[in-house]
Structure 1
Amino acid sequence: MSPPTTLIYGGSGKVAQHLIRHLLSLPLPHKIHPIVRSASQTPALAALGAHPIVQSIETSSAEAMAATMRATRATAIIWSAGAGGGDPARTRAVDFEGAVRCMDAAALAGVKRFVMVSAVDVRDREGGAEPEWYDEGDRERSAGMWGKIGPYMEAKLAADRSLVGENGRRGLEWTIVRPGGLSEEKGTGRVSAGKVHIQARIPREDVAAVVVECLGNEGTVGLAFDVVGGETGVKEAVRKVVEGREDTFEGRY
């Protein structure tokens, strides 16, 4: 059996590096192509066992991205890129416009599986309903996030809205993983996922583990769910999300 081939956009990021390690540790290891913006980023990723490709998210067309997907015979795309929210124009260029071109490229190249790494509380806060499970701590967390990194949250909302709302023309098998605040701590392999309170942080390594579990679980197709630090093993947490069809984006975009 040929190994799956996964392209990771935002391939030099900390979550991406954990993704590489997890994907290479599977019984059938993936061939991994991290997409990076600079040749200086490639040696460290190659040392992990990946095959990095230099291609700009900001300037590449959907057709150029699709050509890379075809050339590598990609079977799955993971979007883990982000501009960090400091420069609103660049944040929009990467987190929204680049993401949408990547989605369009996957459709052009015939790559069905697409996993988006987004963020908790990405929603229409003006016209959409507040999640009914939120408590006062969640509301404070929401207000703080939108107050500090509003342009990032808006860009993620626009990208996620496109992924879900425009999939009729793309036909992707998408999943959106929405992690809480990211930490540098070592992964525990235990999380809380689905319709959860959003105040807890989560190690980047555990985010990567959840994304990898989603790739292997077809039941996550068509779901967007939150994930934070918790007490449930990753496989079990994702299984419960699938069984409950817990979608935290539906009706809120």
Structure 2
Amino acid sequence: MRIVIAGGHGQIALRLERLLATRGHGVAGIIRKPEQAEDLRAVGAEPVVLDLESASVGDVAAVLEGADAAVFAAGAGPGSGTARKETVDRDAAVLFADAAERAGVRRHLLVSSTGADPDHPGDDVFDVYLRAKGEAEVHVRSTSALDWTILRPGMLTNDPGTGLVLLAESTGRGPVPRDDVAAVLLELLNTPGTAGLTLNLISGSVPVAEAVKAVAAG
């Protein structure tokens, strides 16, 4: 498979790129800064320099052309203000989904967040973030040309992955290592039966492959 990942220099994306590359898949990561390219090459990914905040749908569709799957793992990141929550976490996710549709890339994964809700109240930065993620989810779900899966990880940590998770429509709140998020994304890419599902993810007691298989089985 060839997979294109938006937010290719993010902590989850770099982990996923390494997993994909070691399994022989072609993987490209969209990055904003040229100086990030070497980090992608180090994990076996092809860097593509493109600013999703200023790119057109056509620009992104050209990158996605011929891909088997698209993963949106971009985020404005900690320390960014409300404006970039909207331009990255919402608008760039919408752009990426529209570009995938134009390029004919059906399989689409969106990395969202526990608590994402377009009607989330409040004006603090985190409130705007959850609203932006929720609005991105609504758009992706409305794009009938996509076989989408939305993954909502809990509180992200840099602890070593355990390979044991709780993956379900509803999980409650909890932490999850970025290693395990990447492992779940890899398994979701290989499990088309998860299309159309919005899944929450926290640490748990079920091996990743079994957890994904269970949600695919319904």
Q: What's the TM-score bracket when you normalise by the shorter of the two chains?
A: over 0.9
User: Within 5 A, what are the aligned runs for 1:183-222?
Assistant: 183-222=157-196
Residues 1:230 and 2:201 aligned together: no
Q: Given that residues 7 and 72 in structure 2 are in contact (C-alpha distance below 8 angstroms), is that contact kept between their aligned partners in structure 1? A: yes
Cα 1:59–1:194, aligned 2, differ >3 Å: closer, same or farther?
same
Identity between Structure 1 and Structure 2 (%): 36
Alpha-carbon offset, residue 240 of structure 1: 1.4
Query: Between Structure 1 and Structure 2, how many residues are aligned?
Result: 217
Query: Which 10-residue stretch deviates more, 80-89 or 37-46?
Result: 80-89
Q: How large is the RMSD of aligned CA atoms in angstroms? A: 1.8
Q: Given that residues 146 and 153 in structure 1 are in contact (C-alpha distance below 8 angstroms), is that contact kept between their aligned partners in structure 2? A: no
Q: Which amino acid aligns with 1:79?
A: F
Alpha-carbon offset, residue 146 of structure 1: 8.9
User: Residue 83 of structure 1: which of 70, 76, 79 is its match?
Assistant: 76
SS in 1 for 2:109: strand
CA deviation string 1:70-103 (max 9, x = no partner): 2xx2111000000026311111001111111111
The CA distance in 2 between the partners of 1:151 and 1:223, in whole Å, is 24
Q: Given that residues 84 and 152 in structure 1 are in contact (C-alpha distance below 8 angstroms), is that contact kept between their aligned partners in structure 2? A: no
The answer to which structure has the higher strand fraction is 2
The CA distance in 2 between the partners of 1:108 and 1:37, in whole Å, is 22
Alpha-carbon offset, residue 148 of structure 1: 6.1
SS in 2 for 1:199: coil
TM-score (norm 2): 0.94
Q: Which amino acid aligns with 1:22?
A: L
Alignment correspondent of 2:131: 154
Residues 1:65 and 2:63 aligned together: no
Q: Given that residues 114 and 200 in structure 2 are in contact (C-alpha distance below 8 angstroms), is that contact kept between their aligned partners in structure 1? A: yes
User: Residue 92 of structure 2: which of 73, 77, 98 is its match?
Assistant: 98
Residues 1:16 and 2:13 aligned together: yes
Cα 1:84–1:146, aligned 2, differ >3 Å: closer, same or farther?
farther
The CA distance in 1 between the partners of 2:10 and 2:105, in whole Å, is 23
SS in 1 for 2:105: coil
Query: Who wins on radius of gyration, i.e. which is larger?
Result: 1
SS in 1 for 2:46: coil
- Structure 1 alignment gaps of length 5 or more: 127-142, 245-253
